[in-house]
Amino acid sequence: MLAVTLDVTVLTLAHVLHASESQLQWFVTAYTLALATGMLPAGLLGDRLPSASLGRS
């Protein structure tokens, strides 16, 4: 799902901002790094906290 969203976003950014291929590669790298940075703590919290406190019933 995220890969499809990223593909559509990159195409839109390239068109609107007139971004070069190199700039688009930087965008994809930054997005992937930000996503990975957020997923590591989220996984840790998911392992340590009970599922009820995370909003699941």
Q: Note the pLDDT tens digit of each residue in 7-46.
A: 778 888 888 888 888 888 898 888 888 888 988 888 888 8
pLDDT confidence of residue 21: 87
Buried b (16+ CB within 10 A) or exposed e, 9-44: ebeeeeeeeeeeeeeeeebeeeeeeeeeeeeeeeee
Rounded to a whole number of angstroms, the distance between the first and last alpha carbons of the chain is 25
pLDDT confidence of residue 48: 84
- DSSP run (H or E) holding 28: helix 21-48
32 closest CA partner among 1, 6, 4: 6
